[in-house]
């Protein structure tokens, strides 16, 4: 009996130690806020953010705890306020934080976080130097002092080269969350296309690809592949203005245009008369249009449909940019047009004006 009790106790101890190994603790102070609630958030996908933990601020101090199973890029935010503080969090690590709206804030602790913070500070210092040199060079050029400008330009190029080499070395030495997060941020900031996103993803090592942001890059590439020419168009069902569910794949047409737009989108509204003219000309020959509105208020959507005379199929989730269909089609801006054949294969994207008219003539006449 005693032996069995001992085994049970050992198993319990191992379970407790294992659970504690995943525990993350952030202790610190918050400037100018004596009370409130802090949240620790992390993205688990391109369109999904999870709350990992939360705590109450007491007299400007806090202790926030969460359980994580792998290194993650997280955001510490004050509930009810915009912005936040980035933390590269690791399981079983304690962090010391001073959170402030000024530049003197810090979050210390953890190998990944301290390494990334040191690199960003060094990079920012170099960028400040580069920015000053660029301004000096532009001023000398404007003043037609070309010899002096040439000397400054040589120094400018040296500093730019130094920054590039420093960044490349840092990323090469971090086959982990750091390089994956950096590459994802670059892809997102530049709104990189499919081929460029693939190229940048392939620069990552296997360690980085297996991380939170490595998986998100792969998810992004997979979604973009679904909306290039030749791919099967992702199916969806949304309600029309009368509340009736409309399934895209059930709509008949030799050519279908899926038009992502919104009543508040100026370029969309300017494009509507031209699109209406094409619809009136080619509808009897097999053209159908499905307008997917990114509005959040039915009245605004309905008024825009009536005012612009959009006499085709109009649907919306009334969730704005949170509409799941925008994710399916990798829509990052409106208007966005996808052209489908009768088998719902995507055969073209982004055509407008005369290009679109020529395309419709070739495929419907």
Section 55-78 average pLDDT: 96
**30 three-class SS:** strand
Residues 163 and 241 placed together within one structural domain of the fold: no
Do both 87 and 172 map to the same domain? no
Look up residue 170 and give its two tokens: 């840092």
Cβ distance 313 to 305 under 8 Å?
no
Assess whether 288 and 252 both reside in one domain.
Answer: yes
| 230 pLDDT more than 90 | no
pTM: 0.71
Q: Are residues 302 and 338 in the same domain?
A: yes
Q: Is the pLDDT of residue 327 over 80?
A: yes
Same structural domain for residues 36 and 147?
Answer: no
The answer to whether the beta carbons of residues 144 and 82 sit under 8 Å apart is no
Residue 18 within any structural domain of the chain: no
Residues 75 and 102 in one domain: yes
| pLDDT (tens digit per residue) in 257-272 | 999 999 999 999 999 9
**Do the domain assignments include residue 352?**
yes
DSSP conformation class of 233? P
Tell me, yes or no, whether 104 and 117 share the same domain.
Answer: no
Q: Is the pLDDT of residue 315 over 70?
A: yes
Q: What is the DSSP letter of 321?
A: G
Other Cβ atoms closer than 10 A to 246: 16
Please list the residues that pair with 57 across neighbouring strands. 36
**Res 2 pLDDT > 60:** no
As separate numbers, helices (DSSP H) first and strands (DSSP E) second, the chain gives 11, 15
12 belongs to a structural domain: no
CA angle 64–67–68, rounded 5-degree value? 120
Q: What is the mean pLDDT of the chain?
A: 91
Residues 352, 243, single domain; the answer is yes
| pLDDT at 345 > cutoff 50 | yes
Q: Among 69-73, 129-133, 191-195, 249-253, whose mean pLDDT is lowest?
A: 191-195
CATH number at residue 279: 3.40.30.10
Work out how many domains the chain is built from and give that number.
3
Q: How far is CA 171 from the centre of its chain?
A: 21
> Is residue 13 domain-resident?
no
Q: Is residue 37 part of a domain?
A: yes
Q: What is the CATH number of the domain that holds 70?
A: 2.60.40.1120
Question: If you average pLDDT over residues 331-360, what whole number do you get?
Answer: 91
Q: Return the closest-CA partner of residue 296 out of 264, 326, 272.
A: 264
Please check whether residue 290 is in contact with residue 248, taking contact to mean a CB–CB distance below 8 angstroms: yes
Per-residue pLDDT reduced to its tens digit, 102-154: 888 999 999 999 999 999 999 999 999 999 999 999 999 999 999 999 999 99
Please report whether residue 149 resides in a domain: yes
Q: Which of 225, 246, 278 marks a domain boundary?
A: 225
Looking at residue 303, its pLDDT comes to: 97
**Which of 225, 249, 272 is the C-terminal boundary of a domain?**
225
Mapped to the 3 state alphabet, what secondary structure does 167-191 carry?
HHHHHHCCCCHHHHHHHHHHHHHHC
Which residues constitute the domain of residue 242? 237-364
Alpha-carbon radius of gyration of the chain: 27
Is the same domain home to 275 and 187? no
Q: What is the mean pLDDT of residues 8-31?
A: 60
Give me 6's structure tokens: 């001992």
Residues 88 and 165 in one domain: no
Q: What does the alpha-carbon distance between residue 103 and residue 118 come to, in Å, rounded to a whole number?
A: 14
Domain boundary among 52, 76, 108: 108
CA distance 147 to 141: 9
| 145 and 247 both lie in a single domain | no
Q: Tell me, yes or no, whether 241 and 360 share the same domain.
A: yes
242 vs 80 pLDDT, higher one:
242
Percent of the chain with pLDDT strictly greater than 90:
79
Decide: 89 and 113 in contact? Cβ < 8 Å.
yes
Residue 6 lies inside a defined structural domain of this protein: no
How high is the pLDDT of residue 32?
86
Give the pLDDT of residue 21.
42
Supply the pLDDT for residue 83: 85
> What is the band of 330 on the pLDDT scale with cuts at 50, 70, 90?
confident
**Do the bridges between strand 94-99 and strand 61-67 make them parallel or antiparallel, or are there none, so unpaired?**
unpaired
Instruction: Give a yes or no: residue 189 inside a domain.
Output: yes
Which of these, 46, 45, 65, 47, lies nearest to 56 by C-alpha position? 65
Output the pLDDT for position 22.
Answer: 64
């Amino acid at each position: 009996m005693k032996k069995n009790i001992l085994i049970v106790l050992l198993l319990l101890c191992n379970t407790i130690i294992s659970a504690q190994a995943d525990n993350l603790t952030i202790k610190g102070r918050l400037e100018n806020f004596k009370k409130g609630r802090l949240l620790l958030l992390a993205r688990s996908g391109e369109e999904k953010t999870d709350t990992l933990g939360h705590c109450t601020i007491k007299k400007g101090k806090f202790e926030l705890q969460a359980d994580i199973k792998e290194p993650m890029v997280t955001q510490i935010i004050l509930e009810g306020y915009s912005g936040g503080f980035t933390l590269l969090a690791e399981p079983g690590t304690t962090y010391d934080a001073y959170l402030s709206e000024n530049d003197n804030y810090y979050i210390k602790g953890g190998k990944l976080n301290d390494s990334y913070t040191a690199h960003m500070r060094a990079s920012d210092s170099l960028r400040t130097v580069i920015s000053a040199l660029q301004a000096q060079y532009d001023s000398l050029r404007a003043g037609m002092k070309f010899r002096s400008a040439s000397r400054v330009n040589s120094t400018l190029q040296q500093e730019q080269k130094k920054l590039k080499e420093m960044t490349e070395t840092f990323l090469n030495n971090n086959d982990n969350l750091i390089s994956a997060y950096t590459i994802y941020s670059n892809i997102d900031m530049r709104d990189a296309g499919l081929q460029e996103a693939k190229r940048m993803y392939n620069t990552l090592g296997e360690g980085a690809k297996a991380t939170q942001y490595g998986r998100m890059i792969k998810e992004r590439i997979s979604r973009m592949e679904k909306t290039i020419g030749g791919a099967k168009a992702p199916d969806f069902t949304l309600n029309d203005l009368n509340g009736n569910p409309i399934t895209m794949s059930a709509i008949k047409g030799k050519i279908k245009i899926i038009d992502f737009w919104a009543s508040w989108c100026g370029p969309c509204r300017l494009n509507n008369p031209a699109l209406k003219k094409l619809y009136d000309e080619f509808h009897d020959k097999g053209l159908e249009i499905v307008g997917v509105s990114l509005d959040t208020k039915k009245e605004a959507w309905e008024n825009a449909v009536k005012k612009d005379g959009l006499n085709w199929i109009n649907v919306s989730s009334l969730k704005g940019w949170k509409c799941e269909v925008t994710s399916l089609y990798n829509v990052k801006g409106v208007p966005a047009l996808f052209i489908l054949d009768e088998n719902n294969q995507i055969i073209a994207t982004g055509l407008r004006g005369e290009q679109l008219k020529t395309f419709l003539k070739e495929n419907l006449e």
